[in-house]
Amino acid sequence: MSAENNVFKARELGQSIWLDSISRDMLRSGELKRLVESGVSGVTSNPTIFENAIANSNIYDEALIGYAQDGAPVETVFERLAIDDIRDAADVLRSVYDESGGKDGFVSIEVSPRLAFDTSGTVEEARRLWAAIDRPNIMIKVPGTPEGVPAIQTLISEGINVNVTLLFSINAYRDAANAYIDGVRSFMSSGKGSPARIASVASFFVSRVDTAVDKELGEGHELTGKAGIANARVAYGEFLELFDITLGSGNFHPLATTGAQVQRPLWASTSVKNPAFPDTMYVDELMGPQTVNTLPGATLDAMIDHGNVDDRLEPSLADAKSVMEGIAATGVSIDKVTDDLLAAGVKAFSDSYDSLLGRLTEKLGKLTPTGGD
């Protein structure tokens, strides 16, 4: 694929395109390697992605049997399978990581959704996953819940890369960004060395905001399909203020002088849910420097085929604030919407995790004489 494709063009603009999918088949067939060669510079995963990859394929069966032989609980068996895939994907992306000086080329794995409201449990599991995978170019996904925020700070202070997930509200984004800054500051004060290799992204969910707000607005409203993009653009404005190093001031500036990286906003949930919207809407309208967009396969294909690469973030900040003010004027509470979306997001990932474990247990029952017990 030509170096002139839209993925490379986005990279030239300053946005990394990551793939929101992973499977062993993708790794074995060389598909991921080909995508990386076409400009894709990261991979994200979540329980739903692993459920689709593992439970709907027989490619994992041999490893599944092997990892269950010691009588490990099904949660441990799944983790062993996931670690294999994450490690292998990290190896495919290692060249991107090295060539970018540790600023890109990451693969993300999520702590158990059951720990979304458990700070100490999140920290313990994140440490264990980080050590077990043993690759510098992975990120541990931690949900941006109130309990997740102190876990983010702790993990960053220990030099563990973090992908903050399930961010919907501006306040939650701000808390996640400050947790990263405080974590880098703690790392620096501990004398562990340069923070240049510590990386983090803040995953701000987009399309689900539109789905929820549009339902509140009612059919045919002039602001239909505007909330998700405007909300994300407002978050980008917060990012520019929090991580502005050009003015030589602010909380992050002293850290930046030591080589610390900014925590890039990552746009998640960027496949359109409303068929009336253009299929690249959440890609085109959220294109801008120092950001990441993670795309499922179909959206990536559409972006490569007919995406429009241009900076749509900073030039649209004033308009974004006007849109959010307009939505508030209708009586829709964006705070309630985002609170509800966070709760629903945690539940959805937890339900997927439970479903995955149930399907693995069922599969083990068919593959092993002992039923996987």
Active site members:
141
CB 131 within 8 A of CB 79: no
State both tokens at 58: 């027989």
> Is residue 132 a contact partner of residue 85, using CB atoms and an 8 Å limit?
no
Residue with token string 């999140």: 122
**Dihedrals phi, psi of 62, to nearest 5 degrees:** -60, -45
Residue with tokens 């829709």: 332
User: Strand ranges (DSSP E) for the chain?
Assistant: 15-19, 42-43, 106-110, 138-143, 162-167, 200-205, 264-268, 291-295
Read off the tokens for 316: 């649209």
Q: Take residue 313 and report the two structure tokens written for it.
A: 């973030």
Residues with Cβ within 8 Å of 40's Cβ and at least 6 positions away in sequence, in order, are 7, 17, 18, 19, 300
CB atoms within 10 A of CB 80: 16
Contact by Cβ (8 Å): 270, 286: yes
Whole-angstrom Cα distance, residue 307 to residue 300?
A: 9
Residue 21 is given by DSSP the state -
> How many whole angstroms separate alpha carbon 199 and alpha carbon 180?
9
Q: How many C-beta neighbours within 10 Å does residue 189 have?
A: 9
Distance CA 222, CA 164 (A): 32
Query: Which SS3 state, helix, strand or coil, does residue 274 take?
Result: coil
